[in-house]
Amino acid sequence: MPDQSFAIFDFPAIGEAKIAEMATCVRLGWLDTGPRAAQFEQGFATYQKFAPIQVTAVNSCIATLHVSRVTASHPRSENPIHEQMA
């Protein structure tokens, strides 16, 4: 339970299944790459109707900014930047 002395803007809805999945990733040592990240990228690409090569999961704002900067240096027709889906 969060500290009630702070305003809660959006309390996360994380159930036991998600907690178990996160624990599995930690136990296996795959915190930001690996089979679970690849599975997420594939699922996200399918959901958004993107080609799998257009999707890259990142684990930080710095990584997102880096990918955005690299992508922005290419013509839009080659590497479009799409809105963040959180």
In this structure, what are the phi and psi dihedrals at residue 52, rounded to the nearest 5 degrees? -55, -30
What's the residue count for the chain?
Answer: 86
The answer to whether residues 84 and 64 touch, using CB atoms and an 8 Å cutoff, is yes
Spatial distance between the Cα atoms of 34 and 57, rounded to a whole number of angstroms: 11
Nearest to 54 by CA among 45, 67, 66: 45
pLDDT tens for each residue of 5-60: 777 677 778 899 999 988 998 898 887 788 888 898 999 999 999 888 888 888 88
Residue type, 71: T
Spatial distance between the Cα atoms of 69 and 9, rounded to a whole number of angstroms: 30
Query: pLDDT value at position 31?
Result: 77
Q: What's the token pair of residue 46?
A: 């399918």
Rg (CA), the chain: 16
